Amino acid sequence: MKTANKIELHYYLSNQSHLIDAFVRHKCETEILTIAKDLINAFGFDIAVLSEVPAQGGFIEGWKLAGENEEELTLVASVISLVLSKVPPSNKALEKLQKENLKLGAKEKRSTIDRLKDELADGQKITATLIQSAAAFFEADFKLIKHKSNFYLALQKYAPVEKISTNIFFDTTAIGKDKFVERTDFHKFILTSNKLPEQIIEDAVIELVSPVLKSGKYKWKGIYNEKVVVFTMKDEEYQKSVVKKEVSFQSGFSFQCILKINRVIDDFGVIQVRGYTVLTVLGKMHGNTVIETEQGKRFKRTKEDLENQLSLF
């Protein structure tokens, strides 16, 4: 394997020491290596990341990328450096990028990555435009945003670090200038909340396992997307009809509903569901047909009216 490209991270310490807190260093290295791993896996490249002995001068760490394709090595090293160093204008801008990325489907993301890989095909040389395009795509990735947030949060809590810089090297020659991030900008990379936007599914189908047959704040249980879920029933009309025994349940009973899913992103960049809420029961499922409830009919009419109004503009 070739080992041509190196990523270098320089911590500038206020105490002019060559020592850094081991736990802070470990946390930062973990987040950077996770970002590198996610990038390499996303592209499907055969690249190894090798740790280098820290150098003198503040505190400098380096990681070498090992692989057979020099263009792939350069692309991954450049993207990591840009993703770590491009300062977002604000936390809100960072969270907006995250929300936009969450809306993209797996096929859309795969299509973008395949297009970037195609530009590297047939021995073409890597270009600045390709690097910028790849960096722009990945800096909006919700998992990478979270790992960057963890990285800069660790640094923000550690006062001796005044700033950092990143650069990439081909053998021992720096490619471009150092990219600096000052301590005053660390907070712009840090997510202010782990909560993600509520996900609203307007045509969710739930098979009931345990309905609640009396009034009170009790949880219902059902099967959604082949997974057993516990949910809160917020449709008061439907709750009243159940209590009055106007709805009869039997094995395999399913209904279509508007489902709200509350989610958070954990420290590993993984989306975790924190709760399900049925906002409106649209109707009982009879095969593939929906027998609408009154509130389901009202929702359908309101939605159609809104679509008709929008079509006028």
Q: Does residue 44 lie in a domain region?
A: yes
The CA-atom distances, in angstroms, between 166 and each of 197, 239, 285 are: 32, 58, 57
User: In which domain, by residue range, is 128 found?
Assistant: 2-189
* Together in a domain, 151 and 240: no
Handedness of CA 63, 66, 71, 75 (dihedral sign): negative
The predicted structure's pLDDT at residue 294: 92
The predicted structure's pLDDT at residue 53: 67
Do 166 and 81 contact (CB within 8 A), yes or no?
yes
* Together in a domain, 99 and 126: yes
Do 198 and 261 contact (CB within 8 A), yes or no?
yes
The predicted structure's pLDDT at residue 2: 56
This prediction has a pTM of 0.81
Q: Does residue 150 lie in a domain region?
A: yes
* Together in a domain, 87 and 147: yes
* Together in a domain, 95 and 241: no
Do 75 and 120 contact (CB within 8 A), yes or no?
yes
* Together in a domain, 37 and 65: yes
Do 138 and 117 contact (CB within 8 A), yes or no?
no
Q: Does residue 69 lie in a domain region?
A: yes
Pairing of strands 271-286, 227-233: parallel
* Together in a domain, 26 and 128: yes
The predicted structure's pLDDT at residue 281: 95
* Together in a domain, 220 and 170: no
Do 147 and 31 contact (CB within 8 A), yes or no?
yes
Do 123 and 165 contact (CB within 8 A), yes or no?
no
Domain boundary among 148, 163, 189: 189
Domain boundary among 153, 169, 189: 189
Between the CA atoms of 292, 293, 299 and 304, what dihedral angle is there, to the nearest 10 degrees?
A: 30
> For the domain that residue 219 is a member of, what is the CATH number?
2.40.50
d(CA 9, CA 180) in angstroms, rounded, equals 10
* Together in a domain, 218 and 267: yes
* Together in a domain, 165 and 217: no
Q: Does residue 313 lie in a domain region?
A: no
Do 62 and 7 contact (CB within 8 A), yes or no?
yes
The predicted structure's pLDDT at residue 311: 67
Domain boundary among 189, 218, 235: 189
Q: Does residue 194 lie in a domain region?
A: no
* HEC assignment per residue over 173-193: EEEEEEEEEEHHHHHHHCCCC
How many domains would you assign to the chain? 2
* Together in a domain, 66 and 17: yes
The predicted structure's pLDDT at residue 4: 58
* Together in a domain, 71 and 9: yes
Q: Which residues of the chain have pLDDT under 70?
A: 1-4, 16-17, 53-58, 122-124, 310-313
The CA-atom distances, in angstroms, between 297 and each of 174, 184, 309 are: 65, 54, 18
* Together in a domain, 203 and 152: no
The CA-atom distances, in angstroms, between 209 and each of 228, 245, 289 are: 8, 17, 20
C-alpha closest to that of 295 among 305, 311, 283: 283
Per-residue DSSP letter, 122? G
